[in-house]
Structure 1
């Protein structure tokens, strides 16, 4: 019996005279024209004045020079226009939509519309009515609405998946989904719905990687430096929807395939771009957020070994960060340290990592024979035991080691080879402050953790972790000692957390028990660390780094919401997990598990990118 595979029938070239097939009852060619024209007018409106007074943040009174939220609207409109023109098979633009343009046009138009109308409403509310809008504001609202209506007139067509026998085992269903995705990908390439990039010279691929890193640095710098609340909300709307549009267009998958081919160059480029961040700042205001993000991200990457690779649900992981921080603080020479010992940083960092590893082994040895929820409860208990223990070792109810609730304060700044991390320094003509110094140091430690993670996941022990995560019983039947490999993962994760904790102690000047609660208001804590791993993408390198950056940056920027901050943050996480349950940068296997009909562009990416 021969099964006929039907490829998608919506190529990038538009059709004329077609019947309405979208949400808006308009012919496809009219909807495409409205989307293109509306996007171009949206771009033009960003160069006009939107209001008559500079009382609204960003000064939207200037003609010919976009400012504030107008820049975000300009980006959304330009991306919509790019995808729309690509759908007309404009020469040279086909590379932007390898997986088709229609879905990308909808999302990009929604980004421009959402940011524009949010800005118009914010101006009206803050200044007292729509009368405060200039013609540019009205034009932007009308143009973005026109582009969105035109985009919604485009067809919503998706190939039906092959039927799956519900009585098949999970492995057979997984193989079926994988084979179906490959067949759809081959059919899409054959019909031209997905256009292959072709063979590019190595230097061109490297230039693409450099451009991607530069764009990433620009987006991160812009987001972390948003000067007012309205701009940050507009930034979230634009970036979230535009990134999703790039995913639907297949451009992210295409770039991911290139970065997978040049993994070493990509890793070097990413860290060079991150190292350039302090030099883009004029003071330590945002470098402070940057160094805390790196600490959070490094610990999340260590937790990813335990959760993402070995499949162990650890709810008390932040305690290992506390062990490393307290160990380094005790031997830092702080006047409040009961030990009165001062060791060089490299020695205190190694000691913090070693003590954390010992605790990891001591906790893991008797508990790792448990599985699932039972293991999670035990690790949660360990996190609380640690916090209560350091709270009670104050010389009153226990030995005087940690000063109890007062913690260890006045931890001196690091001084490595005569370089004082607490002082400003001039490097290459740029002045970098205290937190910028610690940012660069933490970046080196993050690089070490990334190398350890990458080498471990590609090694024999890494394959054993993955086997135990997928099916421990089957792994044992194949000769893998499940308990031993889980204990190694637990100890390695604890070691990396202790290393990051040694730096955190010097950055924060003070370590206290409240910093290491399960759900402390300010991350890192165990709940946020686990969310960063799941949100970013379990089992990958870049996933937890991106997830940790978002989970630290968004609450820091949403403080203006006051008591509703956690509500808004929780809603954002629920929506993200609803529409992207495999994470922002997923492992390919997990993506296939979450989606019965994996889209063709997803099959282009590789796991572990």
Structure 2
């Protein structure tokens, strides 16, 4: 009896419609959406944004146009059209599907909003119906494209240095435009900002899935100095391209303050693993100190320090408070430490409200706070006055924006240097296992106290600038949780949302958590509800944060389970 050892050929899987036909459907639907952007979507200008014009896309129509254009070019890349294949280095159909889904969501959201605001589908013009069909077809077609519809592109060839520099410059230019567009959206058009968030969210995930972001990271890694210069140039250019003066620059200033404080908290939570629920109090210590020594009329001290002295005094006061609070409490761990820090935050707020001359010494003017804080002045440059720089008039908030860029750069240098130092490695060891770290000779109390003191100092530094930006300091600005950031809950969420232990993560988290409430103020009553839902979804699908380090990826995702022992060890060593 013989046994047939001939390998059997598996039956081909059913793939449905040809991927090429589906991709052509994606392109056709995207072109239809682009055409719809040049048509009127409604007949009346009562809907925010005025979508009544032909041949001139309004903001909401422009977002649908951009989403459709990105979908079309990625579909061309999936087809292997020469000149477009570089858009999908990973060769994943997910990029096409995510872009088409984002365009569909933004377009249908706009049309549904028109019907909701104006009272029925009778208010729709033909352009809206064209947009509905045009955005629906690519979403359905892209969903049916099999995963192996197109193969991965060949490895990128080495580009000359000048070409890589041009790519970096173009990326920063596009990034500056995208960020400026979001910040500059009219507060009277909340639908525009929501659609903007939808398109940016889906486009960002699509670029990650396509492998394009990873390829860009390789280019920037090869040109670190150029990337650093480009980052600073793009950040400095922001106030110079504002068409509405300081109207939206104030949002950018507050984002930088929020992000700087989040980076300080990242030292405590992200590196050392200490759960601090009263961190915003250190921001308040710096702000109140700067207000008391900067010549405010209601200051109890009646002194006016120069700029550098006020900043150093605020940072030093926060450092002292950090040591005083940390010394007796940092021997606690976990929940007990969190409760103590939460109590400190509440004690600070209540104490500032009681130092009014009635319940206690008259120092902080009680609940009324310290108003009319003079603007900073440095070498004759008054930050509260408008100045013409390179032919552009910069207002007060633009001046403080540029100052906060310098402060943030300083904080980033301190954070990265500390994280990569011996003390930084001790923080990580304490965070991972304090008992094991202590057994290896690390003085846990001293290491944690240094992290607590450094984090408090960085928060106090940002607080000194915040006091002069707002020109007033009141206790209600420094609570554990509230509808308006920064507060301790939002600061902690910014670190967790962005990615603990990283530099870019807390900055991104702080920007999102400040910008979204500022633009969607009509949802203020439901803000915390939406915030909680977002955190639940994040913990479920991306617990390491939006921008995670390699160690966090290894901890939260078992992607190396199918690797051999050597590969797994190499991956962990690279973390």
> Which residue in 1 is equivalent to 2:84?
93
Shift of 1:393: 2.0
Please give the per-residue CA displacement for 1:412-438, whole angstroms capped at 9, x wherever unaligned.
111111111111111111111111111
Alignment CA distance shift 1:608-1:368 (3 Å): farther
8 A Cα contact 1:422 1:433, kept in partner? yes
Paired with 2:45 and 2:573, the residues of 1 have a C-alpha distance of 49
Equivalent residue in structure 1 for 2:419, among 457, 476, 483:
457
> Which residue in 2 is equivalent to 1:435?
397
Within a 5 Å distance, the mapping from 1:189-200 to structure 2 comes to 193=152, 195-200=154-159
8 A Cα contact 2:277 2:345, kept in partner? yes
> Which residue in 1 is equivalent to 2:496?
534
Please give the per-residue CA displacement for 1:350-408, whole angstroms capped at 9, x wherever unaligned.
01111111111111122222222221111111111111222222222222221221211
Shift of 1:608: 13
| SS of aligned partner of 2:545 | coil
8 A Cα contact 2:41 2:124, kept in partner? yes
Alignment CA distance shift 1:607-1:486 (3 Å): farther
Shift of 1:252: 1.7
Paired with 2:574 and 2:49, the residues of 1 have a C-alpha distance of 40
| SS of aligned partner of 1:426 | strand
Paired with 1:424 and 1:388, the residues of 2 have a C-alpha distance of 37
> Which residue in 1 is equivalent to 2:455?
493
> Which residue in 2 is equivalent to 1:46?
37
| SS of aligned partner of 1:321 | helix
Shift of 1:287: 0.8
| SS of aligned partner of 2:300 | coil
Shift of 1:607: 13
Name stretches of at least 5 consecutive residues in structure 2 with no aligned partner.
1-11, 563-567
Equivalent residue in structure 2 for 1:510, among 465, 468, 472:
472
> Which residue in 2 is equivalent to 1:308?
270
1:140 aligns with 2:99: no
Shift of 1:27: 4.6
8 A Cα contact 1:309 1:466, kept in partner? yes
8 A Cα contact 2:86 2:153, kept in partner? no
> Which residue in 2 is equivalent to 1:252?
213
| SS of aligned partner of 2:393 | strand
Alignment CA distance shift 1:97-1:61 (3 Å): same
> Which residue in 2 is equivalent to 1:202?
161
> Which residue in 2 is equivalent to 1:525?
487
Equivalent residue in structure 2 for 1:293, among 237, 255, 270:
255
Q: Name which of structure 1's ranges 421-430 and 587-596 shifts more when overlaid on structure 2.
A: 587-596
| SS of aligned partner of 1:581 | coil
8 A Cα contact 1:57 1:68, kept in partner? no
> Which residue in 2 is equivalent to 1:163?
none
Name stretches of at least 5 consecutive residues in structure 1 with no aligned partner.
1-17, 159-190
Alignment CA distance shift 1:373-1:264 (3 Å): farther
Within a 5 Å distance, the mapping from 1:506-585 to structure 2 comes to 506-585=468-547
Within a 5 Å distance, the mapping from 1:379-458 to structure 2 comes to 379-458=341-420
Shift of 1:599: 12
1:67 aligns with 2:58: yes
8 A Cα contact 2:255 2:510, kept in partner? yes
8 A Cα contact 2:33 2:64, kept in partner? yes
| SS of aligned partner of 2:248 | helix
> Which residue in 1 is equivalent to 2:74?
83
Shift of 1:513: 1.1
> Which residue in 2 is equivalent to 1:188?
none
Paired with 1:257 and 1:545, the residues of 2 have a C-alpha distance of 22
Q: Name which of structure 1's ranges 99-108 and 543-552 shifts more when overlaid on structure 2.
A: 99-108
8 A Cα contact 1:289 1:553, kept in partner? yes
4+ residue segments displaced more than 4 Å: 18-21, 605-609
Q: What's the Cα RMSD here? A: 2.5
Paired with 2:397 and 2:477, the residues of 1 have a C-alpha distance of 19
Paired with 1:539 and 1:313, the residues of 2 have a C-alpha distance of 13
Alignment CA distance shift 1:140-1:599 (3 Å): farther
1:324 aligns with 2:315: no
| SS of aligned partner of 1:276 | helix
Please give the per-residue CA displacement for 1:48-73, whole angstroms capped at 9, x wherever unaligned.
22223333222223333322111111
Equivalent residue in structure 2 for 1:242, among 203, 210, 215:
203
| SS of aligned partner of 1:285 | coil
8 A Cα contact 1:31 1:152, kept in partner? no
Shift of 1:321: 0.5
Please give the per-residue CA displacement for 1:138-182, whole angstroms capped at 9, x wherever unaligned.
111111111011011022589xxxxxxxxxxxxxxxxxxxxxxxx
> Which residue in 1 is equivalent to 2:238?
277
Alignment CA distance shift 1:570-1:26 (3 Å): farther
Alignment CA distance shift 1:607-1:192 (3 Å): farther
